[in-house]
Amino acid sequence: MGESVLYRNRQRTRLTVAVPLYYGWMVVVGAILWVSGNDFSESVRILTVLLFPVVVVTLFFFGYRSLLVSVTSTYVELSYFFGWPRKRIDRADIVSVDVFRIPWWYGLGIRATPKGWMWSIWGRDTVLLTRANGKGFLIGTDDPDGLGVVLSGP
pTM: 0.76
| pLDDT tops 60 at residue 16 | no
Name residues whose C-beta falls within 8 Å of residue 91's C-beta, 6 or more positions apart in sequence.
71, 72, 73, 74, 75, 76, 151
pLDDT in tens, 25-51: 667 777 766 766 666 676 677 777 777
What's the pLDDT tens digit per position in 98-118?
999 999 999 888 999 999 999
> 15-36 vs 40-63: helix axis angle to the nearest 10?
170
Report the alpha-carbon distance of residue 110 to residue 87 in Å, rounded. Answer: 11
